[in-house]
A and B are shown apart, each in its own frame.
Chain A
C-alpha cells in the first residue's frame, strides 16, 4: 500500500457516489473537448491566417469588385502577391447539401496561399487542360464520397450560366489536404477563367482579392495602406486579415467564441460546486478516521496530500473519460463538423484537470486540517 493507493481507496469507498462524480466530471470535460475542438477546428476562425489579407468592397461583401483593381493592388508597396476569388455557392443533389466553390486564378492562388491550402505543383498541373476542372478539399471529398476523375454537378443558388440554368458541371482533378488538420478543406476550387466566361452576369467581377504581404510589413499596416489607396476611388475597399474576415462573418450569426466560453464556463462552475460539495461531505463523513490517522502520526501535510490526491484521482479519471469521448467524437463526427481535437486541446484539458483538482480539493483539505483529534473522536 502507498499514500496514492490509500487516497484511491478513499475515493472509491462509496462506489456509486464515485461513479456519479466521475460521470459528472466526464460530461463537463466532454463539453469542453467538443466545444474547444470546434473552436480549434475548420468551422471556426481560429485556424484562419492572420497574415493573408482579404479585400472586399467597403459597401459590403455582396458588392463585387472589378478585376481591373488587380494591377493597382500589385503596384502597392509591400504586396508580395495578389490573387482574386469569385464565389459560387450552391448544392449537390439536395439543397441542404451545400457546397462552396471558389473560382480563382490558380497560379496566383498558389502564390498567395498555396502552402496554407496544401496546393502542390502536381495539383496545379492537374488543373491544366479542360477549364471545368476543380480541386476538391479533403473534408468535402470525404463527406461527399467524391474521387479524382469523377464529374460532379453543383447547382448554384444565384449564378446562372449564359446557356441557361444553374447547373455547373465540374471534373475533379485533384484533392487538396490543407496545411494542418484545422485548415478548412470543405470547399472546392474552380478556375476563374471558366466561371467568368460561362456565367451570365458579373463578368470580370470578383468577390474578393487576396493579398500576401511582404515579410517586411505588418499586415495591419498594409491593410490600412490599401484601404487608403482606394478610399476616394469609385470602389472603396475594406481590407482585413483572413481571420478577421472569418470572425466578422461568423459574428453575423453569433459570437461563437463567447458562446463556447460561456457554455464551458457554466459547465465547470457547476462541476466545481458539485465536486467541492461532495468532497466536503465525504471528508466530513471521515472526520473520525482523519482523527485516527492524526493519532497515528500523520501530519497536516499528509492529510492535505491525501485529500488532494483523492480529488486529483477522481478528476483525472473523469476528465480522461470525458476527453477520450471528445477525441472519439472528433474522429467519428466527420469532416463536416470540422472538429479538431489537437494536442493543444489535450494540454489545456490536462491543465484544467490539475487546476480543478487543486480548486476542488483545497476547501475539503482545509476542512480536514481544522479537525482537532479530540473533536474528531467525539464524532463517533
Chain B
C-alpha cells in the first residue's frame, strides 16, 4: 500500500521535470488522499500502468493551455492534438521512470497511454491508496495522481 513518505519521489520527480525540461520550476502543493470517487481530469491525461513489485497507475493530467506553453519552452512549434498527447505521455513516463531511483527496477512502467477530454474518468487501482499531487506552473494547474498497492 502506498505510504505518504513514498510520495516524496514523485513530488521531487515533478519538481525536477519542470525545472529541467521547462527551465522554470513548478510549485507542488501538499498531496492529498483520494477518499471518494476519481479525481477530475484536464484536457489531456498521460497514464502509466505499474506492474512488478508494485501495482497500480500513475497519471499526469494537464490543460491544453499549460501543455502549449510547455511546448513553447521546449522550442517546439507544433501545437497539434498529436503533440499534446505525445507531451502529456512523455511527462507521465519521465516522472514514473525517475521514480525507479527509489522504487528499483522491479517497479515496471508501461509505455504511456493517453486520453483526451475533461469528461474522461480514469479508474484508480482497486484496493490501492490514491494520492493527488497538485502542480502549479506559471498560471496553470495540473495534477499527478499516484494510485499504488
Asked whether A and B interact, the reply is: no
Interface on A for B, CB 8 Å cutoff?
none
Which residues of B pack against A, CB within 8 Å? none
